[in-house]
Amino acid sequence: MAQVDMRQVKELRDRTGAGLNDCRSALVESNGDMEAAVAVILKKGLAKSAKRAGAVATEGTVAAKVSADGRSGVIAEVNIQTDFAARNPEFLAFVDDVVALAQQSEPGSDLGSKPSPRGSGTLEEARQALVGKLGENITVRRWDRLTVADGGLVHAYVHMGGKIGVVLALETANTAVGPALTKFAEETAMQIAAMSPLFVDASGVPAAEKNKQREIFEGQLAEEGKPPAARPKIVEGKLAKWLKEVCLIDQASVLDGEKTVEQVRAATEQEIGSKLVIKGFVRYERGEGLAAPQGPDFAEEARRMAGQS
């Protein structure tokens, strides 16, 4: 019989979400082979949560895809509870179905009510069936679609195996898409993924967002004891700096630190001989804004298993 230590048990538990006793038994059954133990857990249906529907799903993937003509692109975040289940082929096939439906739908549409691309019933019915099969809650958290007219292109970029996704829409006066435009699209999408801009430029920043930042900066200066008379000028300086950080065109290029994104855009515009406009972008980061569920304390569970509680 293979010797099983608590490090292996913890690793298997982290990967599958199964109980410690089940993990230890699976490792013993598989003679300490981690991958074989994962298969044992899966076959026995132990990798599941007792509270499926109400459980917070923060793992999963962000997927993005561009249409064959390059004029439309979609992005979607589909969540599930564990990284282990996020790699399941059936979950990934469901994500593909979400993307396929998004490509056929207008932004804001309820994808769940639409016919499932495979089999009968709706996408929501397919989701519910998969929740029952995998034993983990699944949510189609959000999706969006960008399009351009005859001139320009939509580019999609997915980073770190689905942790971050970007769709970017560029418009030009020329219908031809050459290597210079493609290069700018690729590099700008990577910029968005890496630097998390919120807006294309300052004109797109809502007044409410600016006022919110002013209030934050004013509060900080009050805490620091800055004289009231000096605060307005300092606040506006901080606001200008903040706008450069959150507006894409004002950011320093991650690939050419000597230039801003706007300068790279202008150079590309000259190279392609056509007006080049960044129409918009959507950036999703998996699980952003969601509170990760806190599972049972490992040390406490280990003590219970050993009869020490």
DSSP 144-189: EEEE--SSSEEEEEEETTTTEEEEEEEEES-S---HHHHHHHHHHH
Residues 69-122 pLDDT 10s: 999 999 999 999 999 999 999 999 999 999 999 999 999 999 999 999 987 799
Specify the pLDDT at position 14. Answer: 72
Quickly state the pLDDT bin for 270 (edges 50, 70, 90).
very high
Specify the pLDDT at position 95. Answer: 98
Higher pLDDT pick, 299 / 9: 9
CATH class of the domain at 59-203+247-285: alpha beta
Q: Say yes or no to pLDDT of 54 above 60.
A: no
Q: Are 200 and 308 in contact (CB under 8 A)?
A: no
Q: Say yes or no to pLDDT of 297 above 60.
A: no
Specify the pLDDT at position 40. Answer: 80
Number of other CB atoms surrounding residue 199 within 10 Å:
18
What's the number of CA atoms in the CB half-sphere (13 Å) around residue 153? 22
Tokens 């004029």 label which residue? 71
The closest alpha carbon to 166, from 139, 210, 118, 200, belongs to 200
Taking the alpha carbons at both ends of the chain, their separation in whole angstroms is 28
- Residue by residue, DSSP assigns 214-246 as HHHHHHHHHHHT--GGGHHHHHHHHHHHHHHHH
Specify the pLDDT at position 303. Answer: 60
Q: Is 1-47 CATH 1.10.8.10?
A: yes
179 phi and psi, to 5 degrees?
Answer: -60, -35
SS3 for 293? coil
Residues 183-193 pLDDT 10s: 999 999 999 99
Structure tokens at 306: 């050993």
Specify the pLDDT at position 3. Answer: 75
Residues 159-186 pLDDT 10s: 989 999 999 999 999 877 899 999 999 9
47 phi and psi, to 5 degrees?
Answer: -85, 75
Element (H, E) at 281: strand 276-285
Domain boundaries, the chain: 1-47, 59-203+247-285, 206-244
Specify the pLDDT at position 299. Answer: 59
pTM of the model: 0.76
The closest alpha carbon to 101, from 116, 90, 88, 87, belongs to 116
CATH architecture of 206-244: Orthogonal Bundle (1.10)
Structure tokens at 206: 């809502």
Tokens 């109400």 label which residue? 54
Higher pLDDT pick, 197 / 223: 197
Average pLDDT value over all residues in the chain: 88
